Amino acid sequence: MKRIWQNIGVLSLLLACVVSGCGGGSSGFGAGGSGQGADSGEIVVGAILPMTGNNATDGKDMYNALDMAVKELNEAGGVLGRKLKIEVADDGCDPQMATSAANKLVSLNVTAVVGGYCSGATLPASGVFKNANIPMIVTAANSSKLPAQGYDTLFLINGLVPDQTQKATEYFMAHNAKRIALVHDNSAYAKDMADSAKAQIEKAGGSVIAYEAINPEEKDFSALATKLKGLSPDATYFTGYYAAGGLMIKQFKQKGVPGLFMAGDGSFSEDLIKIAGPENAEGALISATPTAEFIEGAEEFVKEYKQAYNLAPGPFSALTYNGMNLLADALKRANSTDHEAVKKALKETKDFKALGETITFNDQNTLNESNFAILKVENGKFTLAK
Amino acid sequence: MNTLVQTLIDGLVIGAFYSLIALGYTMVFGIIKLLNFAHGDLYMLGAFIGYSLLSLVTGNGEGAAGLLGIAVVLLLTMTVVGVIGMGIERIAYRPLLLAPRLSILITAIGVSLILENGSMAIWGAQYQVYPLQLPQTGWSFGGAQLTYTQVAIIAISVLLMAGLQLFVRHSIYGKAMRAIALDQTASSLMGIDVHRVIALTFFIGAALAAGAGVMAGAYYGTINFMMGFIIGLKAFTAAVLGGIGNLPGAMVGGLLLGLIETAGTLVLGGSWKDVVAFSILIVILVCKPTGILGEKVTERM
């Protein structure tokens, strides 16, 4: 008898896994019906975002920004005389989930897709949309592998890694910092950025005096600090994330490592200041795409966003808001929801004024002019560095 | 020269943490031949319970904790986590003491995952900042810096380790521990309450890990639910390096590993640090498979 109960227990566990597994993939944000994509009714725009998992916070921020843009557009009478509607698919920042999420959007025959947070998930999803000839505007993911695929359906409105390291290098050179120490955390993104920075710095006439890696799961970087102190760099550029970045700032300050300290956009978080301690973080630099609160002319956006969602806009809110407005603009110019026409209109975008950036696409369908800026911690807060 | 001194200091601080955690591994292995993979997570749990208590004492970091406050929090956390360690032994390990070694090893991994994910559920997945700012002043000799905090960490570690050594060598419970390590059945026949002594061993091991956890939280400033994983592996390495089952060995192994790591960073760079440390580990184990202080005989602790 006992064995039977055990078997039933195992079976029901298995069943639960299967059911929840399926549920996870297709958990509903409104059911997709038939008849969409025709020339009447709502224009359905797909959004592929991480709504579950570790990056759900940023996914939610991006969804809010889309929601806000669509509400504004609809209040102004919609696009082409039709209302817009968002259909969300959860990519969970996972390549497999992203593929099935993309297939779901394709089967709903969406007019275009906006979103894409994790590069790893966006890569396979962009392939699915390419096959279905559906234009996709990527508003956060920025691996240089995305444009390298050469898809004519894929448009990126966030700056890429080389843009960021170029901006950082310009800042170093302008502040007469020629001898740079580079530190990455062995993640693909951080290493890619460190390599890119190395190339840029050497091209600009500077020299890389140390190229180091840390393990972001450890907390003690004192050995690295001691080593760098001995080399006395003009500046240290860390390309990893805020948790290690904050500790590094603190320990570098304790040890008295000389020179500027700059961190990449992975460290652009209030938590960086909290972890380092405000007095240690003072003067630390960040190379990043500025969030809405640092963008001139975005005050209205920030105010409305706070009012509507009761929280400050996240790192990619403004960009995602821009992406939706860019799509609406392209739809108007194309005067059609036909995939081919929308794609062509997006490609022809010229000097589209958006929050914090002016969008014109280059040959690779990435920004002609990047939106990166250098921020500085002053009085415990990020401000735009001059 | 000052770089060398500084590296030595850096290595000692890291090594002190490794040693404190390695002691727990080595004690548990010595007495019941279990590699307690949940041990690193007791360090994490100590850091979190210390964090909650300190938040309570300081009113979420608004007031200052004071030395007495920190000492009380440290002792309280060690006691609480020690009791949790005993509970884990009672629930997860004792029923399996006579089962195949592999079953109890898997149970240890299970306990580790429960502690990690349970802590994530309670305190959240994000990094928490310790509600405490330790003084960053200290002595400076010719460019090398030694802060009061570092001295305190090393001193507390040495005190705890010395206390443990005295306890195991000279108290009646220590004698019982060593007897059980030697032969569990015979000890039982001699009237030693084996389960009670094993529970005590878990209490001490968990308390030491918790002490290290609170100190790490206060010293480095951030904690998160996965912080015990890497340091647990490193401490386990330190225990094996020193000779697993041997208490002074765990201390020597921890300090040595800390020094090798910092020296590796200095000479070859951060990416090579672990390569260097573990290459040396392999060389030492090939030359002396029982570890630096490990004994050939079955007598341990």
Number of H helices, E strands in chain A: 14, 14
Q: Tally A–B CB contacts below 8 A.
A: 83
Nearest-angstrom CA–CA distance, A63 and A71: 12
What phi, psi does A312 have (nearest 5°)?
Answer: -75, 150
What is the pLDDT averaged over residues A207-218? 90
Instruction: Search chain B and give the residue with CA nearest A223.
Output: B262
* Better-scored residue on pLDDT, A173 or A20: A173
Residue A278 with chain B: CB contacts under 8 Å? none
Please give the CATH topology (third level) of the domain spanning A162-288.
Answer: Rossmann fold (3.40.50)
Distance from CA of B191 to the nearest CA of A (A): 38
Residue A15: predicted pLDDT: 47
Q: Residue ranges of the domains in chain A?
A: 40-159+297-359, 162-288
pLDDT score recorded for residue A312: 86
Q: Could you tell me if A274 lies within 8 Å of chain B, comparing CB atoms?
A: yes
Band of the pLDDT at A20, cuts 50, 70, 90? very low
pLDDT at site A39: 56
Confirm if A184 and A193 have CB atoms less than 8 A apart.
yes
User: What would the two tokens of residue A169 be?
Assistant: 């290098």
pLDDT score recorded for residue B58:
76
DSSP conformational letter for A30? S
pLDDT band at A35 (very low <50, low <70, confident <90, very high): very low
| Whether residue A51 has pLDDT greater than 80 | yes
Long-range CB pairs of A38-44 (<8 Å, 24+ gap) are A39/A337, A40/A82, A41/A82, A42/A82, A42/A83, A42/A84, A42/A85, A43/A78, A43/A79, A43/A80, A43/A82, A43/A83, A43/A84, A43/A85, A43/A111, A43/A331, A43/A337, A44/A85, A44/A86, A44/A87, A44/A108, A44/A109, A44/A110, A44/A111
Contact B202, B88 (CB under 8 A): yes
> A187 — contact with chain B (CB < 8 Å)?
no
Written as six digits, the tokens of B298 are: 């079955």
The segments of chain B whose pLDDT lies below 50 read none
Beta-bridge partner residues of A138 = A115, A156
* Cβ–Cβ < 8 Å for A25, A97: yes
Confidence (pLDDT) at A28: 37
Q: Nearest by CB to B127, which of A223, A255, A271?
A: A271
If you count them, how many residues does chain B have? 301
pLDDT of A134 > 70? The answer is yes
CB neighbour burial string for B162-174, b if at least 16 within 10 angstroms, e if fewer: eebeeebeeeeeb
Mean pLDDT of all residues in A276-291: 90
Question: Could you tell me if A233 and A157 are in contact, meaning their C-beta atoms sit under 8 angstroms apart?
Answer: no
**CB proximity list for B191: less than 8 A, separation 6 or greater:** none
pLDDT beyond 80 at A226: yes
- Which residue among B11, B133, B270 sits closest to A212, beta carbon to beta carbon? B270
Domain boundaries, chain B: 19-136+144-235
Q: Is the pLDDT of residue A139 over 90?
A: yes
Least confident of A85-89, A108-112, A365-369, B136-140: B136-140
- Report the residue from B221, B224, B271 with minimal CB separation from A250: B221
Position A31 pLDDT exceeds 70 = no
Least confident segment among A21-35, A171-185, B14-28, B223-237: A21-35
Nearest Cβ partner of B266 from A218, A226, A247? A226
Per-residue pLDDT at A198 exceeds 90? yes
- For residue A37, the tally of other CB atoms under 10 A from its CB is 15
**C-beta atoms of A277 and B11 within 8 A:** no
The C-alpha atoms of residue B103 and residue B95 are separated, in whole angstroms, by 11
- Whether B221 and B129 have beta carbons less than 8 Å apart is answered as yes
Q: What is the rounded distance in angstroms from the CA atom of residue B274 to the CA atom of residue B258?
A: 11
Q: How many other C-beta atoms are found inside a 10 Å radius of the C-beta of residue B244? A: 24
Task: Quote the pLDDT of residue A110.
Answer: 95
Q: Looking at residues A358-379, what average pLDDT do you find?
A: 90
From chain A, the residues in CB contact with B235 under 8 A are: none
Considering the domain delimited by A40-159+297-359, tell me its CATH architecture. 3-Layer(aba) Sandwich (3.40)
Calculate mean pLDDT across residues A162-184: 94
Which residues of chain A have a CB within 8 Å of the CB of B269? 210-213, 227
Identify the pLDDT of residue B62.
Answer: 55
Domains A40-159+297-359 and A162-288 in one fold: yes
Interface mutation target, options B9, B215, B265, chain A, most CBs of A under 10 Å: B265
